[in-house]
Amino acid sequence: MHHWGEKEMKFLRKLGLEKDRREVFLYDFFKKVEQVEFDTLLFFFGVLTAVGALQYMGHLALVGDALYGTLGFTLANVAIGIISSIGDNIPIMYAVLNMDLSMGLDQWLLVTLTTGVGGSLLSIGSAAGVAVMGVNREHYTFMSHLKWTPVIALGYAGSIFTWWVVTKLLIN
């Protein structure tokens, strides 16, 4: 991105602008990352470490057997998506991967879809939401995100319906 920005500056010089008028370089990735709080990074490190510990002790296999054995793959994957809105989608998906499940490709696609979209139901359910709440505290809060939850829930249901149409009706 920095290289692209240098090309942009060369283009601006051709137009007759000798100096970049922006106060902050538009595509400075490192400036944006340094605004993320250290607490946010420690949160993700701690959660992934905890998931790894649960997997090491065998608890994830027990939870996977109970959840997927009781509900079946489709309903369990939909439930996993809703759970990912409460507990961040990255560690939830990491936990599912470490449950050592034997699902078909269609179910792996569903759980990936539901954790990704379901994680956006609440701002704490996605890494991006947590990071934006840390960087932009004045404009993006947990409560400001809640006004979009019904629309995201419709998208969640619509994406599951689309998955069902594609995998069950079109492929079979």
Read off the pLDDT of residues 14-45 as tens digits, 9 standing for 90 and up. Answer: 767 666 555 555 566 677 667 666 776 787 78
- Confidence class for position 171, pLDDT limits 50, 70, 90: confident
48-87: pLDDT as tens digits: 898 889 889 988 889 888 999 999 999 999 999 999 998 7
With CA atoms as reference, report the closest residue to 118 among 88, 85, 143.
85
Mean pLDDT of the 99-127 span: 88
Query: Can you give the residue ranges of every domain in the chain?
Result: 1-34, 37-170
pTM as predicted:
0.70
Give the pLDDT confidence score for residue 6 in this predicted structure.
Answer: 63
Residue 163 contacts residue 74 (beta carbons within 8 Å)? no
Give the pLDDT confidence score for residue 136 in this predicted structure.
Answer: 80
Mean pLDDT of the 122-145 span: 82
Please, is 118 exposed, middle or buried when counting C-beta atoms within 10 Å of its C-beta (0-12, 13-18, 19+)?
buried
